[in-house]
Amino acid sequence: MIRRDFFKRILLIQRNVSARYSSSDLNQINIQKLEAEQSTEVVDEALQQREAELEQKRNKSRLKDNHRRILNDEDPFPEPELWYQGTLKYVRRSYGRYGASSGIDPAYCWPIKQELMDAIEYEQIKYPYTIGEMAEKAKLKRAEKEQSIMNRQRDISKKLEKLEQWKLELQQKIIKKETEANEAKARRERLIEEVRRHFGYAVDPKDEKFKELLEKREKEQRKEMKEARKKAKEERATKKLLQSTKTNVKQEEPDDTKQEKLE
Amino acid sequence: MLRSVSSKLNTFTLKRYSTGKTLVSNEIQAIVEPRKLDFPSKYQTPRQVWLESLDTIDERKLGLLELHPEIFATNPRIDIIHQNITWQKLYRYVSYAHTKSRFEVRGGGKKPWQQKGLGRARHGSIRSPLFKGGGVIHGPKSPTPHFYMLPFYSRVKGLTSALSVKLAQDDLHVVDSLEIPTEESSYLEELVKSRLWGPSVLFVDSTDVMPRNITAATDLVRHFNLMPVYGLNVYSMLKHDTLVLTRSAVDIIEEKILYHLNRNDTRNVLAKYKVDQV
Amino acid sequence: MSKNTEKALNILRALPRVCLANIRDNPGSRLGPKRGRAQHGGDKHGAGNKGSGQRQNYMRLGYETGNNPFYLRFPQENYYKGHHLKRQYPPLSMLELQKLIDTNRIDVSKPIDLVSILNTGLYRLFPDQHQFGVNLTDEGADIFCAKINLEVQWASEIVIAAVEKAGGVITTAYYDPYSLQAMVNTTKFFQRGVPIPRRMIPPPDAIEYYTDPAKRGYLADPEKVSEERLVLAQKYGYNLPKIENDSEYDMLTERKDPRQIFYGLHPGWVVNLRDKIILKPKDEELLEYYAS
């Protein structure tokens, strides 16, 4: 194709040259001039096409336009093609990366009114207290914690004082229990001995008759004990009265009433 | 002048110029300022190369340039070059071979005959791999990508090795620019022939828009290729017999490779390659 | 140039041109794919005999064939409740800091803060993993001898004493995760085209630490801080150097505003690395917001 064009051009040039130096016949010249004009138009178109192709071929990058721009540290999409290229985030990022050459007004970098309001609201909720308030609160909290620990320590120390006493009481209780149990046991043994003596040593203590007598004897024993307790009570009461009469010699009337009651 | 210069030059760079012709001092005119390295190596002497021109068919030496030895005189690691070439071929290769497994072969859903009683082997489907016409077990599955990233410094070493090989085998030439006087491909062919530059030539320039004439000249000649400096790769360097760099391309190559050889923040570069992150 | 390289390059001059057809990998560097056939690798192909292993019907992960498995044996323990939500301060020892200073990775003539430690590349921080800054540990406190204006996020008494003994100044400061993200990768942050944010105040459980003069908190009273300096000097038995008479007094007393993230840059400014300019807002509302 190139060769064809080349030869064509040579022929046309020759033709033009010959036309210039031909005879001064007007018709001839006119026709030849017309021919030359026509042919130059055709030549121009083909040439232009060839030039355009060559210009395209001069780019040996084999890259897409946007990739080539990225390689040269330029904004890959100077005109937005996709929806996200109109978002604030993208616009700010373009400015951040490519500066003034991106053609973006730097005013977009700062938050818009809505964003500002959102940010302030968010901060108010997330950080409701000032540093001073928080510090005081922390102090109070720490003091409270220490206070509660001190209180508990105090309680414990108070209780510890009574510890020895509680120990003694407990020991006494145990001893009392033991003695009572021993006494009851001894009483029961005695009764059994008595009954045995009554029946004779050959009889089994588990026999019915034995048991009946044992019960009788137990009952009698209990009655005796009760009477003994009653007597002890009465003795204590009389003792008390005597004491009170001795002390309250002046007040005779209440003493009389008391005596009347007893009797 | 040549004699005095020759004594300072390394013998192996001078050999290629001993074509039997004795160059007279008048012929060498230092038209261009000699290129000095910004960051010379502490341990090696720089390599030297003639700065030539594509203006005339006969070669014309414009001056002497220094090349950084860490890039143009490293150990020529043929195995790393091989790894780079394999990587270049494979990382974008997708195998479209496909075989049908037993589930993809048509038919074979029904049990062909009852389990017991017939005296025949037991089978569940006629398309099992045991059968003629049955599915393939571990056959290729389309599409299978063979993408992998060669470690960053293997790739850097590949580039430096290839450049060193080219320079050592006299296949590297540095030219002031890629401007030629005509857009005829015959001009280039004659030029390459006279200078014994080898049948195929790779012209590398710093920009990706090449001059008009050389684009036209190399358009239909498939063994002369133009490439921007960022497209320089091991495969192309080995495929073409001669490598012709412009002076500006040499500057860019040295700057970039020296940066990567001496940087102290290689963490990002050594990390696992992530397709969606820069 | 090493002898081998020289030799190799000289040999290449005599050999044919290196091209795609005459290169190969080093012999023995690549192992071919192993097929499982015959005795080794073959026969049962590593699946054993019968059972769930060979029949590809495996037991669930963690199952121990009936006995109480390890992952179910131990009940929850209260002492580690919420451990994954607590603030973390990855440690940096005083020894490491001294090494960084000695190897010229940190410039001592300027105040040292988290950004300068991160810029060395040898200390990494991940704010998205609940990491809130540098915890300076006391390993190497006895040999620390650099006079610096240091700002960390957590420091113990010994560390503070060591820094002050060397004639330096130490402060503990809090950075919220958004600010930390800006500090960890500053270039990336500026490329977002977003104004520098205000640093947020510490959360309630950290406020005590950062208002405590004994910990040199950035919110503490400076007079009390100087008192504490004396106290520490007496406790550990060293003479407290007078920084007022020091030639670098200005550098040592340089402090950040509680809302400031970077030295020399204020909240609300937009830094553009491409054009190398700093833009400041003019709108009143914005100025009010960023000054609050």
CA distance C40 to C46: 10
Q: Measure CB to CB from residue C26 to each of B74, B79, B198 and give the nearest one.
A: B79
State the average pLDDT over residues A118-143: 95
State the average pLDDT over residues A64-80: 92
Q: pLDDT tens, C5-33?
A: 999 999 999 999 999 999 999 999 988 88
- When computed from its CA atoms, the radius of gyration of chain B, rounded to whole angstroms, is 28
pLDDT classification of A67: cutoffs 50, 70, 90: very high
- For an interface test with B, the pick among A4, A58, A71 (most B C-beta atoms closer than 10 Å) comes out as A58
Within chain A, residue ranges assigned H as helices are 2-20, 26-58, 65-71, 88-98, 113-126, 131-161, 163-199, 208-247, 252-262
Please, which residues have CB within 8 angstroms of residue C101's CB and are 6 or more apart in sequence? C108, C146, C148
In chain C, how long is the greatest CA-to-CA distance? Answer: 85
* pLDDT-wise least confident of A217-221, B148-152, C106-110, C267-271: A217-221
Can you give the pLDDT at residue B9?
41
State the average pLDDT over residues A14-35: 58
User: Do the chains contact at B76 and C19, CB–CB below 8 Å?
Assistant: no
Q: pLDDT tens, B88-112?
A: 999 999 999 999 999 999 999 999 9
**CATH homologous superfamily of B32-80+148-263:** Ribosomal protein L4/L1 (3.40.1370.10)
pLDDT classification of A42: cutoffs 50, 70, 90: low
State the average pLDDT over residues C62-74: 94
The number of folded domains in chain C is 1
Q: Is residue C254 part of a domain?
A: yes
C9–chain B Cβ distance below 8 A for any pair = yes
- Which chains sit next to B, with 3 or more Cβ pairs under 8 A? A, C
More reliable by pLDDT, A98 or A11: A98
State the average pLDDT over residues B20-47: 69
Nearest CA among B146, B137, B143, B61 for reference residue B105: B137
* Residues in A 130-169 with any Cβ partner in C closer than 8 A: 130-131, 134-135, 137-139, 142
Q: pLDDT tens, C202-215?
A: 999 999 999 999 99
Q: Measure CB to CB from residue C289 to each of A106, A116, A130 and give the nearest one.
A: A116
Q: Is residue C7 part of a domain?
A: no
- Decide if pLDDT at B191 tops 70: yes
Q: Is residue C24 part of a domain?
A: no
Q: Measure CB to CB from residue C20 to each of B69, B85, B165 and give the nearest one.
A: B85
Which residues constitute the domain of residue C149? 91-291
Nearest CA among C154, C166, C161, C162 for reference residue C114: C154
Give the domain ranges of chain A.
Answer: 2-58, 78-126, 129-161, 168-243
Can you give the pLDDT at residue A252?
53
Q: What is the ipTM of this complex?
A: 0.85
Q: pLDDT tens, B227-259?
A: 999 999 999 999 999 999 999 999 999 999 999
Number of Cβ pairs < 8 A linking chain A and chain C: 73
Q: Measure CB to CB from residue A71 to each of B211, B219, B230 and give the nearest one.
A: B230
A67 sits in the region (left: phi over 0; alpha: psi -120 to 50; else beta) called alpha
> pTM to 2 decimals?
0.76
Q: Is residue C128 part of a domain?
A: yes
Q: Is residue C52 part of a domain?
A: no
pLDDT classification of A29: cutoffs 50, 70, 90: low
B226–chain C Cβ distance below 8 A for any pair = no
User: Do the chains contact at B81 and C23, CB–CB below 8 Å?
Assistant: yes
**Smallest Cα distance from A2 to chain B, Å:** 10
Size (chain B), residues: 278
Nearest CA among B80, B195, B166, B235 for reference residue C17: B166
Can you give the pLDDT at residue B15?
39
- Decide if pLDDT at B276 tops 80: no
CA distance C203 to C27: 62
- Residue C121: its chain B contacts at CB < 8 A? 264-265, 267
Q: Which helix (H) or strand (E) holds C91?
A: strand C91-93
Q: pLDDT tens, A221-241?
A: 888 889 999 999 999 999 999
- Decide if pLDDT at B12 tops 50: no
- Residue C270: its chain A contacts at CB < 8 A? 106, 109-110
Strand ranges for chain B from DSSP E: 47-52, 63-67, 94-95, 144-145, 172-175, 201-205, 224-228, 242-246
pLDDT classification of B188: cutoffs 50, 70, 90: very high
- Which chains sit next to C, with 3 or more Cβ pairs under 8 A? A, B
Give the domain ranges of chain B.
Answer: 32-80+148-263, 94-145
